[in-house]
A and B are shown apart, each in its own frame.
Chain A
């Protein structure tokens, strides 16, 4: 499978714990995006990388959130001190030079 891969697919955690999600984009894609989708809503933009550089961050990305793409390949999204409001699907997408976005199947976070 050469699509966008996300791991884990589902994470259940207790409030206050830290969680980390990983995204492996399509191999030749230089751009990588993180979106968040809550139930009954469309995805909301969080941040975007071109190669290893994080070029845009949404105001939704509070200081508890940090994203990295250290070698311009896979990316991680970490949420510290999780809150119940963080419960959502975290979607990763990749594109080649800003073309069509290909989304992964998402990582679902449940904060108890």
Chain B
């Protein structure tokens, strides 16, 4: 069993929809949680970074962490076609990100 599980999708939504992306993890040593966005044939880019349980908001993006359930989510409000990409959750055991453990990614398409 993988340490980090992520629904691969693909997920297709109409423009303006609210998107919910999720990951579960099994290792309670993970303390830092990130969401990356990866466009086709590009490297991942950091979207959100959280440490504690709770919510963190940045524009149309909200990251949610529930350490007791080992469950993290990314919500995208008012989704746009430019949000179409693969979204990867990632976790590390320390704040100094020596080694990230990634989920397998969810492919999202936002239809105009």
Report A's interface with B, CB cutoff 8 A: 4, 31, 35, 40-45, 48, 55-56, 58, 91, 93, 95, 97-106
B8 to A40, Cβ gap below 8 A?
yes
What A residues does B90 contact at CB under 8 A?
Answer: 42
Which of B14-22, B36-44, B58-66, B67-75 lies at the interface with chain A?
A: B36-44
Residue interface bits B3-24, CB-to-A below 8 A is 1, else 0: 0101010000000000000000
Judged by a CB distance under 8 angstroms, whether B85 is at the interface is: no
* 13 A–B contacts from the bound complex (CB under 8 Å): A31-B98, A40-B8, A40-B105, A41-B105, A43-B100, A48-B99, A56-B98, A98-B95, A98-B98, A100-B49, A101-B100, A103-B43, A106-B42
A106 to B101, Cβ gap below 8 A?
no
Closest to A44 in B: B102
User: Among B46, B49, B96, B101, which residue has its beta carbon within 8 angstroms of that of A98?
Assistant: B96
A41-B104 contact in complex given A4-B43, A103-B44, A106-B43, C-beta closer than 8 Å: yes
A45-B43 contact in complex given A40-B8, A98-B95, A100-B49, C-beta closer than 8 Å: no
Report B's interface with A, CB cutoff 8 A: 4, 6, 8, 41-46, 49, 88, 90, 95-105
How far is B42's CA from A97's CA once the two chains are assembled, in angstroms? 24
For the complex with contacts A104-B43, A106-B43, 8 further pairs of A-B residues with Cβ separation under 8 Å are: A4-B43, A35-B100, A40-B8, A41-B104, A42-B88, A42-B102, A43-B44, A93-B43
Q: How far is the CB of B35 from chain A (nearest CB, A)?
A: 12
What A residues does B43 contact at CB under 8 A?
Answer: 4, 91, 93, 103-106
Closest to B46 in A: A100
Q: How far is the CB of A9 from chain B (nearest CB, A)?
A: 9
Q: How far is the CB of B7 from chain A (nearest CB, A)?
A: 12
